[in-house]
Amino acid sequence: MHTRDAIYINGKWVPASGEGKIEIVNPTTEKIIGSVPVGTEVDVNEAVSAARSAFQSWSKSSIEERQGYLNAISAAISERGEEIAALITSEVGTPINYSRMAMVGTPRVVSRSYAKILDSFEWEEEVRNSLIVKEPIGVVGMITPWNFPLHQIIGKVAPALASGCTMVLKPSKEAPLNAFILADIIHDCGLPAGVFNLVSGHGREIGEVISSHPDVDMVSFTGSTAAGVSVSKAASTTVKRVTLELGGKSANIILDDADLAKAAKMAVYSCFNNSGQECSSLSRLLIPSSHREEIIQVISSTMERYTVGDPMDEGMKCGPMVSESQQKSVSKYISIGISEGATLISGGIGMPEGITRGFFVKPTVFADVTPEMTIFREEVFGPILSISTYESDDEAIMMANDSEYGLSGGVWSGDEERAMHVARSMRTGQVSINGGAFNISAPFGGYKLSGNGRELGSYGLDEFLEIKAIQR
């Protein structure tokens, strides 16, 4: 059992003021694997006070000192990598190989990347008679999700440390245990007291306190669009900076001159990574009507070999949903897809064959999905791929942009210039061409209801900085 009975404030593990505990359920076994304390407004106030006090000295720390801590955190994540990967798989249900790569490998590299960014980052600039100075914004409240728990935490903590900010973190209640390991790592690294603070608890209770707190200078939130709206409203009374990384319903366009077999096969994986519980999932596949049968045949064959089951089994590609409520939500979307007339290609309602427990759903593919259908428009956050056909490049672009979201996207083509035209025409924060690899140094974030602000790379660092002009 991973039982945590204290929260981390001002460099110490202290009891939380709330009653009871939050139990963590393994979505594969449905068994309780640990618990964390219930923090309250009292704990948030103490954490913010500690962060405010620590900011005075930490904001003036040297670049070399910040680099040292960032590299130390990266090294410790690497050293404890297998432990962290297994823990996150038990919290979220992520297949273990993907957990090692994305849940551990990515945050390890991101932390180290900010140490490298500081080597050449320009903190000052001369503009005519002005000196333009970049300064840390102050105390940052961080509210993070369960689907990529440690990656999303490091994506905020690392640039905050690099910028000279102090912070209060509230991790997701579904997958908070990895955040406590990070707090252990940070404590062992000797980061000055108050720079990093961890308060676990229920989002509706302490998330609003963090967002509206007058001594919090910025809120960085990752989660659902509805929750992001609530964070923005709570933060508005203090006119603090808010960065939001929210939902997505991203389109993947296969053009008629693409390597159709490769594009179709990869379309499955780009939708079903992390069991489809990914905000940037390419969940809408747009294909030329002239190649419908060929592409669907490849996808059908791929799905026949697509394994679902115990995520600790290294041969599995898809694990369970994170919770029973998430399982019910995804199952409802499958039922809606069927009832609205989409063509079921693979999967469907019910548990995968041979599985009797756990929060599993069948990885599902629908064809003939039209823009008015629910599964075309709403974020499912599970392994459901919707396939729609188009007649021209312009129609494909129009369909891709026919969404209230704009987080990610994909284009497949044998002509790079043609693919680039489509990519530039998509109203979305990231686009991959022919499966272009994720780049941790590139800005990540979205248009429209997918949020505002950017994470990762130097663009992510800028979010934590204020800009001052000194005239002389």
pLDDT (0 to 100) of residue 426: 98
CB 11 within 8 A of CB 192: yes
Give catalytic status of residue 318 as yes or no: no
Q: Quick one: 222 and 298 in the same domain?
A: no
278 included as an active-site residue: no
- The answer to whether position 325 is within a domain reads yes
Whether residue 175 is found in the same domain as residue 255: no
Residues 226 and 320 in one domain: no
- For 331-364, the pLDDT digits (tens) are 999 999 999 999 999 999 999 999 999 999 999 9
CATH number of the domain to which 393 belongs: 3.40.309.10
Strand order in the sheet with 130-136: 124-127, 130-136, 465-471
Q: In terms of residue numbers, what domain contains 79?
A: 2-246+450-471
Q: Are residues 300 and 224 in the same domain?
A: no
CATH number at residue 20: 3.40.605.10
380 plus 256 within the same structural domain = yes
Q: Are residues 418 and 467 located together in one domain of the fold?
A: no
Same domain, 222 and 256: no
Number of domains in the chain: 2
Nearest to 354 by CA among 314, 315, 312, 307: 307
Cβ atoms of 422 and 393 closer than 8 Å: yes
Q: Are residues 149 and 179 in the same domain?
A: yes
Choosing from 91, 245, 278, 463, the catalytic residue is: 245
Torsion of CA 50, 55, 56, 57, to 10 degrees: 100
* Cα distance between residue 259 and residue 263, in whole Å: 6
Would you state the pLDDT for residue 38? Answer: 98
Domain-embedded: residue 399: yes
Global confidence as pTM: 0.97
pLDDT tens, per residue, the chain with 472 residues? 899 999 999 999 999 999 999 999 999 999 999 999 999 999 999 999 999 999 999 999 999 999 999 999 999 999 999 999 999 999 999 999 999 999 999 999 999 999 999 999 999 999 999 999 999 999 999 999 999 999 999 999 999 999 999 999 999 999 999 999 999 999 999 999 999 999 999 998 999 999 999 999 999 999 999 999 999 999 999 999 999 999 999 999 999 999 999 999 999 999 999 999 999 999 999 999 999 999 999 999 999 999 999 999 999 999 999 999 999 999 999 999 999 999 999 999 999 999 999 999 999 999 999 999 999 999 999 999 999 999 999 999 999 999 999 999 999 999 999 999 999 999 999 999 999 999 999 999 999 999 999 999 999 999 999 999 999 9
**CA atoms of 400 and 419, how far apart (whole Å):** 14
35 domain residue, yes or no: yes
Half-sphere exposure of 177 (CA within 13 A, CB side): 24
- The residue from 165, 271, 279, 318 that is catalytic is 279
Q: Are residues 99 and 131 in the same domain?
A: yes
- Residue 445 covered by a domain: no
Helices (H), 106-166: 106-120, 149-163
Q: What's the one-letter identity of residue 218?
A: M
Residues 242 and 255 placed together within one structural domain of the fold: no
Question: 104 and 222 in one domain?
Answer: yes
The strand pairing partners of 452, in sequence order, are 244
C-alpha distances in Å from residue 165, one per residue of 59, 160, 197: 6, 5, 12
Q: Which residues are within 8 A (CB) of 101 and not within 5 positions of it... i.e. 6 or more apart?
A: none
Residues 226 and 296 both lie in one domain: no
